[in-house]
Amino acid sequence: MAPFLVITEYSPSSCLAAAAAAVVAFQLIRAMYMLYFHPLSKFPGPRSAAISRQWQANIVKKGFPEKEYEKLHKKFGTKTLRIGPNHLHIADPSLYKVIYSQANPFPKEQAFYDTFESHHTTFSETDAQLHKQRRKLLSPLFSKSGVSKLEPLILEKVEETKEKVNRISKHGPINVWPAFRCMTVDIISEFSFGTCINMINEDPDTFNSEYLKAMEVASALPFLRYYSTMQWLLGNCVPISVAANFSPVLRQTKKMVGIIVDSYHNYTRRTTNSRFPVLFDNLQTLPPDSQKAEAINTFIAGSDTTAFTLVTALYHILRLPEVEKTLTESLDEVFGESQSTPSLVQLEQTKYLRACINEALRLAMSVPGMLPRVVPKRSQPFLIDGKVVPPGTLVGMSAYTMNTDPQIWGQDAHSFNPARWLGPNAKELETHMCTFSKGARQCIGINLGQKKEAEQLSTL
């Protein structure tokens, strides 16, 4: 009976205390390992970042993590900053083409891109071969010759927006941010599906839109990547239709996705041909779910990115009288006495307009943050500052780092200065600007984005 008596002497409270002590001991041992014995312990960074991803989540929650990383790079005097237990933020421009190279880039991090869609798209596909196949379907429409066929569509929506801005601005100042967003979404919707969703005219007296309201809230969704368990549950166990009942973010995400999917369904039922090339005509070989995922990706990637660049350009041009004067004089030469908008070819040849757009693209950085990659296992180790970065480590650089590095752009790197694009080293500067990323994963919409910006900025 003695063994039985010994067992029964343990109370539930003592068992709980022992379990709690074991958990605390485990966490302490883990923290010691992460701080002093982990392969990344030789890289500087906040101590709390080495222990948990919560530090990074808190930084992201504040709004713009890249500025905080920039401060920490300076504080620690390093180009390689540890921002997570297995995550390095790099601020060395010479390594950008190594990580995001054209021929042999580091693989994308699966968890980061799983945040965006359940079905992978041209943007989120992590398999290099599948990405290459998907991109091949879309490339003809996004080439320079393909985009030139959309010039009448772009002009039409620019004029529509201009007329509405002129009309409602008679009653007071207006916010051009939603105006630009409505315009770009209308262009993208007709390009994608052959039918415009007509956001410009959704509200006759404002540029308010249900889609934009939903998108504002849904933009918080990528934050889930810092809570991997929650992300996995939502992605694999809980349908968004159910989860939407408990979360405002997911509720608005469902609403936003619903608007896009409705446009896709209207496309599948259409009986007339479009006036312009239609993106989804090239995706008929894909399963319906993959087509819907591409629709969501195209809408989001093609709307706010261009709109934000336009707002950035307009803000700085109007803030700087000399820039406004020079641009106006340049455009007057192109427009002449004509009331119609010059062709895209003419606008692209206007050097100062091109310089203003390049400078806006450099500073706007619609995706300013780091796009994480996984260090691959190769015959030659990946070295930073003479230190080996083990395979499986998450690394990355950001457009913000590349686009504002003083060694590349000078001490006025954070200033709007179109003149930098008119100098003898303008071509070299283009190789350093990473607004659209670089290499095999460069944004497929680069030509469309630049043409929309030239047309819209010159007219408005």
Tens-binned pLDDT, residue by residue, of the chain (460 aa): 444 444 445 577 778 888 888 888 888 898 899 999 999 999 999 999 999 988 988 888 887 899 999 999 999 999 999 999 999 999 999 999 899 887 788 888 877 766 555 556 666 665 667 767 777 777 777 778 888 888 889 889 989 999 999 999 998 898 999 999 999 889 988 888 888 889 999 998 999 888 887 777 656 555 445 444 444 444 444 455 555 554 555 666 677 777 777 887 887 887 667 888 888 888 888 888 787 777 777 777 777 888 888 999 999 999 999 999 999 999 888 887 666 677 777 887 889 999 999 999 999 987 788 889 999 998 889 999 889 999 999 999 999 999 999 999 999 999 999 999 999 999 999 989 988 877 655 676 677 777 677 777 777 6
**Residue 38 is assigned to a structural domain of this protein:** no
Residue range of the domain that includes 411 = 52-459
**Residue 25 is assigned to a structural domain of this protein:** no
- Please count the other Cβ atoms lying within 10 Å of the Cβ belonging to residue 186: 23
Q: Are strands 87-90 and 394-396 parallel, antiparallel or unpaired?
A: parallel
Q: Are strands 80-84 and 87-90 parallel, antiparallel or unpaired?
A: antiparallel
**Residue 32 is assigned to a structural domain of this protein:** no
pTM of the model: 0.81
**Residue 18 is assigned to a structural domain of this protein:** no
**Residue 68 is assigned to a structural domain of this protein:** yes
Exposure string (b/e) for 12-43, b if CB count within 10 Å is 16 or more?
eeeeeeeeeeeeeeeeeeeeeebeeebebeeb
**Residue 420 is assigned to a structural domain of this protein:** yes
Give every CB contact of residue 35 below 8 A, 6+ residues apart in sequence.
41, 47, 50, 51
CATH of the domain at 63: 1.10.630.10
**Residue 104 is assigned to a structural domain of this protein:** yes
**Structural domains in the chain (count):** 1
CB 347 within 8 A of CB 455: yes
**Residue 39 is assigned to a structural domain of this protein:** no
Distance CA 249, CA 231 (A): 13
